[in-house]
Each structure stands twice: as C-alpha cells, then as structure tokens.
Structure 1
C-alpha cells in the first residue's frame, strides 16, 4: 500500500497536501501544549509535552479506525431555534468554551504574576496530572476536527494515517524549541494566549453553525506574530546598544 502511494502522483499530491493541512491545524494544539507544559516543574516539562502530543497522535489514529462513526458526527442530532446541532458542533462548542476559559485564566495568572508566588512543592504531582487531563480534553477536540478535515480531502485511510504520523512527528520536534522560546519571552506568552482566545471563539462560532474561513484566522496569527517578531528584534537591538552608552 505504501509503495502504491509513492508511485501514484495523485496520491503523493493528496498526501503532501494533507500533511500541510494537518501541520497547520496542529499549530493550535501545539501552542496549547507549549503554554500548559511551561506551568510544570522544569524537569517534567519535556515529558509532559511528549505525552500530550503523543496522546494527540493516538487519538487521531483511534478516530481513523472509527472512520465510519466519525463521518456521522456531522449529521444533525437536534435543533434549537434556527440552529441544527451535530455531535461535531457540540464537541467544537464545548472545546471552544473550555479554550476561552483556560486562556482567560492563564491571562489572569500572568497578569497577577502568580508564577512567582506558587509553592513548587505543592503543585508538582497534581499539576502534572491536571496538565495532562487538560491537554487530553483539547486533543479530543482538535483530533475530531483534524480527522473530519482529512476525510473531506481523501478517501484513502493509508494516506490519512501517514499524514497524521508525519504531522505529529513534526509537532514533537517543534514542541521543545517553541516551549522554550515562549517561556523566555513573556510578551510572546500573552500573544499565544491571545491566539488561543481567538481559536476558542472560532470553535464556538463553528459549533453554532457559523463558518469562519481558516485562512482569515491564520493570516491574523501570522500578521500578529510578524509584529511581535519586530518587537523582539527591536528589544534585542536596544539591549545590545545599552553597554556602549
């Protein structure tokens, strides 16, 4: 099956396209994992990231094995007023509300400077468990969205499996550098939390039946990241000039 995919130009194009789509959709998940894992004691952070991202891959592969059920998640199960709700809508709605709540509490946490006041000895064990549970909850939401997107792009299960494994592998490689970068730059933390708030609101809108083009979301994220990059470079240049003055 794998050799057939590599020798079929149509399958190769579908695979590469799906890998790119899975990576783009995984950015949301990766930001969430990076922020939460940075709340752990330093010696547990890498393990937390690997477990969180590993769970994402396991969930995606499990959902692929239940593809016949996943496809039916888009069918309406009940109506309210003028809205028809499917199981996918309910999952997106619950995930969006959770993400907005979590991002808001994290913003409050950083605004209050709670990190400095935490007693490390009291949170090591419970924090690890809590972080993994929260990552798992969002993994479920992002995995359902990811697999439904994959189903809409190809009918070949093998292509979906390869795309999931490759994209999650890339996420695992990128997780540590991204988390370290976020932890060293407080303003980037707030920007990432802003991204999560926006993604959460987008999930809520999707759950209510309002389609939000993903291109607009990622364009806004790219523009904001570009502005923050300029800010980081400006601060770095100012620090370099200070000793000389």
Structure 2
C-alpha cells in the first residue's frame, strides 16, 4: 500500500486529522469502560497491564482493519438472505451484520452478568471474593469486543476521510490519549459503585444498538452519546450531593 505524505501540506488534512482523532476518542470511551470493568476482575497488580494490553490490541485491530478496507467493504455484500416476519422483503445478511450481532449479544450478556454479580454482592478478585478470572481469559474477551468496536470506529473513519494514512494517524493519536487516561477512568469507575452500574447499563444500551444495526435498524449515535453524557452529569451531581449531605439530628426541646 502506498502512502502519499504530500497531503500534509494541505491545511484541510490537519483539520480532518483533528476531527477524526476527536471522533475516535469519543467512540473509544465505551471500549475503555468495558476494558476497565472486565480487567477489574484481575488481581490489582495485573490490572494496569491488562488495560494497556487491551488498548494496544484495539490499536492493532483498527490499524489492521484500516489496511484491509477493501475486505471491510466486501463485508457489506449479502452472504445469504432470510425472510423475517416483520419485513416485507427478504433480508440480506452480510458479514458485518453477523459481526455486529455477535458483538452486541456478547456485550449484552457480559454486562448483564456483571450487573447480576454486583447485585449478588460478589466481591472483586483483589478483595478476595469470587470474581477472579484468568489473565488469558480476560484478554480473550477484550480481543472479541475490540474487534466489534474497531468495526464501528473504522466505518466512522471511512465516512469522514478517504486517506488511509490520516485514518491510521488518528487512531494512533486517539489510542495514545486513551492509554494516558485509561487508569484515571478505570479508578473513577471502579471506586464509585453507582457509576460502575451506570457504565454497565450504557454497555447494554450499546449492545442493543449493535444488534439493531445488525438488522439494518440504524440509530443516530448522537442520541446515544447525549443520553450517556446527560446520565453521567446527573450521577456526578448526585455524588456531590451525597458527599455534602449531613445526617439530620432531631432535638427534643426539653433538653435544649
């Protein structure tokens, strides 16, 4: 593949690079949340390593997919057709649909399991509870979801710019930012149980969105991210309110 570096003499190229980098960071937030939650089941001394490996794997997945754009385009071709009761015409199932469906179901199932574990009161591995998992098993789950999130990211990149070099640079820059702040995000999520539950609910919502996209029911992602941002702001305000709240002491006037 030939890269044309002369494009960087055009100011529009830098605008596209910054825009795409920002979009990649936004789209990568859900990936960071998933990795932070699932890596929390490892011993504390392995969590940072697990997060770093997960994000590096995401970077390699996205670069590999960018270098295989023709293959990605081919995934939009129908592999077979099925007749669904609610559709008037046969539904053409593509490779992309199968990947999104599998990824969405996996995300829904994993997030639901994590919520169930929290409600049952099982503690994380580092606290000596039942939540431990093998390092290899955690990395395997990260790889699976990285592939799904990478497809979403790459399809966004292809829609914004048509230069593979710019796409690769944007992915590398966004992953650098996410690596730098992944620890902060992980600590914030894991130290606040209500935020963690909210994050798991977001992942279920994203899983449902992926399943619907697999059935060609597109949902405007702006609505999804606005709902996530709004819910997060409300929860942060609730956290500040809980910290400021003081217990009410009733006084009997005869002892005043």
- TM above 0.5, yes or no, is yes
- 2:108 pairs, out of 80, 90, 100, with 100
> What's the Cα RMSD here?
2.3
In structure 2, distance between residues paired with 1:116 and 1:179: 14
Please give the per-residue CA displacement for 1:145-191, whole angstroms capped at 9, x wherever unaligned.
Answer: 21122112211111011001011111111210011111111111100
Q: Residue 244 of structure 2 corresponds to which residue in structure 1?
A: 237
Which runs of 5 or more residues in structure 1 are unaligned? none
Q: How does 1:1-245 map to 2 (within 5 A)?
A: 4-81=6-83, 82-115=90-123, 120=128, 126-238=133-245, 241=246
- Report if aligned partners of 2:54, 2:143 keep a CA contact under 8 Å in 1: yes
Greater fraction of residues in helix: 1
Q: CA deviation at 1:7?
A: 2.6
For the pair shown, the structure with the greater C-alpha radius of gyration is 2
Q: CA deviation at 1:10?
A: 1.7
More moved, 13-22 vs 174-183: 13-22
More moved, 10-19 vs 221-230: 10-19
Q: How many residues end up aligned between the 2 structures?
A: 242
Q: Residue 92 of structure 2: SS of its match in structure 1? A: strand
Please give the per-residue CA displacement for 1:109-141, whole angstroms capped at 9, x wherever unaligned.
Answer: 0001111699849876x5211111111100011
- Report if aligned partners of 1:84, 1:209 keep a CA contact under 8 Å in 2: no
Instruction: Find runs of 4+ consecutive structure 1 residues off by over 4 angstroms.
Output: 116-124
In structure 2, distance between residues paired with 1:141 and 1:123: 25
Q: Residue 93 of structure 2: SS of its match in structure 1? A: strand
- Report if aligned partners of 1:76, 1:87 keep a CA contact under 8 Å in 2: yes
- Report if aligned partners of 2:43, 2:125 keep a CA contact under 8 Å in 1: no
More moved, 185-194 vs 140-149: 140-149
The 3 A distance-change label for structure 1 pair 116 and 180 is closer
- Report if aligned partners of 1:5, 1:12 keep a CA contact under 8 Å in 2: no
Which runs of 5 or more residues in structure 2 are unaligned? 84-89, 251-256
The 3 A distance-change label for structure 1 pair 149 and 192 is same
Q: CA deviation at 1:237?
A: 1.1
- Report if aligned partners of 2:40, 2:190 keep a CA contact under 8 Å in 1: yes
- Report if aligned partners of 2:41, 2:124 keep a CA contact under 8 Å in 1: no
Structure with more contact order per residue of length (Cα contacts < 8 Å, sep ≥ 6): 1
- Report if aligned partners of 1:77, 1:84 keep a CA contact under 8 Å in 2: yes
Taking structure 2 as the reference length, the TM-score comes to: 0.88
- Report if aligned partners of 2:59, 2:172 keep a CA contact under 8 Å in 1: yes
Please give the per-residue CA displacement for 1:174-218, whole angstroms capped at 9, x wherever unaligned.
Answer: 210011111111111100000000000000000011000000100
